[in-house]
Amino acid sequence: MLVFFAERLQPFKTKMNKLLFYADFAMHKQSAFSISGIRYKAIPMGPVPNNYNSLYEYLANQDTFDIHSKQFSDGGTGEQFILKSNRTFNEALFTTEEINILHLVAERFKNTSTQEIIDISHQEEGWKQNKDTKNFIDYKYAFDLTI
């Protein structure tokens, strides 16, 4: 999933977190199974995979992608996923339905800024119901997904 989104969108970390959330929850909405099996937490910036920094560091150390730091004009910084030139998405690891969901999510959010996807994710019932507790977001909220 990370390779798919890095290859197509080169997102920043915060946006990648939301793309993974939407892909897993949209798949669960359709089939009652997520793609990755990852659990998600509700934090102030929206839904994120549990232990996402460890996941990203591990894959960066495996030469899957580079994480480039970028300084923004407002003083903030972001970390962008740039896929290694020798890596490509391996479609054989996914079902047709999963690939369709990945394309749906990529298409839906391809022109969405990081702040916009944060704002959209804040409309999701799963985030709203768990934002104050920072609990895991139950996959039952997939059926309330707005996409």
Q: What is the pLDDT of residues 23-58, one digit of tens each?
A: 999 999 999 999 999 999 999 999 999 999 999 999
Q: Are 2 and 16 in contact (CB under 8 A)?
A: yes
Query: Buried b / exposed e across 129-141, counting CB within 10 Å, b at 16+?
Result: ebbeeeeebebeb
Predicted confidence (pLDDT) at residue 64 exceeds the cutoff of 90: no
pTM of the model: 0.95
Mean pLDDT estimate for the chain? 94
Query: According to the model, what pLDDT value does residue 135 have?
Result: 84
Q: What tens digit of pLDDT does each residue of 111-120 get?
A: 999 999 999 9
Which of 110, 104, 130 lies closest to 29, judged by CA? 104
